[in-house]
Amino acid sequence: MGKEMKNPWKNLKADKSGKYISNIDREKIPALEKEIIEKYKLHLELLPEPFVGNPKAPVYLLNLNPGFSKEDVKEHEKNKKLRECIFKNNNRNYKHQKYPFYWLDPDLEKTGGGNWWRKILGQLLKEIDNDELVSKSIFCVEYFPYHSKKYEKAKSPIPSQKYNENLIENAIKSNKLIIVMRNEKTYSKIPDYEKHKAKGRVLCCKNKRTPWISEGNFPDKGFAKIISEISPPHRPRPTKRNAK
């Protein structure tokens, strides 16, 4: 594994205006906010979600950015468990975390994020039949870390994006299975990405609008490959689904 960058999200707190901005992004964000139009507005009142899960997981999901809805504001304000999960995740504190990919925590099942991810991962969850195992086996990296309703590529990247690129570079060096959920072009310039893909270690969702992790969304038995990474043939399959 290559050298890992310092985590720019550690101990992130809101500034005096109530915005959550990484210190390394603070100079770039004001200009970026002026550049983008309303539908791409950054919702800095929400804790950023640059990644979800433990980077030691065998399967990486590459997405574009955490979305936004009005319900997100209410959930971030009122759901203490959600805030704690995001804060621990951003600090990479996985000690005593039964569900490192916190959207699969049964306590968060009825949140917007929990509902969305359970739809996206529906067939995978059904096939593995163990939510806790899946939560420990997948890691999602967002290309852009801050919440917005839609994503639009900025004229120049912000500094914190380098951290996520570094995580992906290290995943490639560790021969992790990578699943591109949206916009492969965004990630294809990462060092050794094309070599990793040529080895069969990169899978791309056919349906980019709805990137289901399902059998029908991957060619050449890609879904079976995902299953084997999470629950290899030599590992006994769980006999009972996690209680919710």
State pLDDT tens for residues 52-79: 999 999 999 999 999 999 999 999 999 9
Euclidean distance between CA atoms 239 and 126, whole angstroms: 12
Cα-Cα-Cα-Cα torsion 190, 194, 197, 199, nearest 10 degrees, comes to -120
Domain membership of residue 41 (yes or no) is yes
Which pLDDT belongs to residue 158?
A: 94
Domain membership of residue 87 (yes or no) is yes
Torsion angles phi and psi, residue 77, rounded to 5: -75, -40
Please name the amino acid found at residue 123. Q
Domain membership of residue 13 (yes or no) is no
Domain membership of residue 84 (yes or no) is yes
Average pLDDT over residues 116-137: 97
Per the structure, the count of domains in the chain is 1
Domain membership of residue 119 (yes or no) is yes
- Over the stretch 175-207, which tens digit does the pLDDT of each residue have? 999 999 998 998 999 999 999 999 999 999 998
Which pLDDT belongs to residue 2?
A: 61
Domain membership of residue 240 (yes or no) is no
Domain membership of residue 2 (yes or no) is no
Domain membership of residue 10 (yes or no) is no
Lowest mean pLDDT among 2-16, 31-45, 161-175, 181-195: 31-45
Which residue range forms the structural domain that includes residue 115? Answer: 23-230
